[in-house]
Amino acid sequence: MDKKQPVKSAEVSKAAREALERRGVTLMDIAEIVYEMQYTYNEGLTMEHCLDSVDQVLCKREMQYALLVGIELDELAEKKMLSQPLQQIIETDEGLFGIDETIALGAVLTYGSIGVTTYGHLDKHKVGIINQLDTKTANGVHTFLDDLVGAIAAAASSRLAHRIRDMEEKGMKLSDEKTIC
């Protein structure tokens, strides 16, 4: 049997970003959460910095794969295409399921402890669009999406915090740079 070619990175990246868009989440929605999490620690932080960090996090394969898996399951549950009992568990966002959180957390782990603690905070306090997704069950299934958005925001927050420290050590200020990739 011929060995299959791996899926091209650009294709995975495009599919993950399209999936988010299709589910009504913009990068700006996520950047707003990042700003909320980070502005008290960083004077001069702008929405542009936050948006840029969200964009960079979405370039990571771990995050792209998590998005593709989670969003696919939400969409299949909406179409009632899963087998029972998984259909009911995902459709009703069963409290003890926990796999939605596990997949999202897995994608945050590469961003270190700030990512993990921020993810926990967002999971508990449902900041910004996460709250809308969490309470919007009548308009669709978002069992995985709320956690995935939390994961992107947490990863982008952690990434920013570390980048800003690196800049400070080089004697640079946040306001010196438009973007800090």
Under the rule (CB under 5 A), what is the footprint of Mg ion? 100, 143, 146-147
Residue 35: closest CA among 22, 19, 48, 18: 48
CB of 82 to Mg ion, least distance (A): 16
Q: What residues contact residue 164 under an 8 Å CB cut-off, 6+ apart?
A: 42, 174, 180
Please report the DSSP string for 117-162 in residue order: HHHHHHHHH--THHHHHHH-GGG---TTHHHHHHHHHHHHHHHHHH
- Nearest residue to Mg ion, by Cβ distance, number only: 100
CB of 44 to Mg ion, least distance (A): 34
Q: Which CB atom, from 31 or from 141, has the smaller least distance to Mg ion?
A: 141
CB of 144 to Mg ion, least distance (A): 6
Q: Which CB atom, from 6 or from 95, has the smaller least distance to Mg ion?
A: 95
Q: Which CB atom, from 45 or from 149, has the smaller least distance to Mg ion?
A: 149
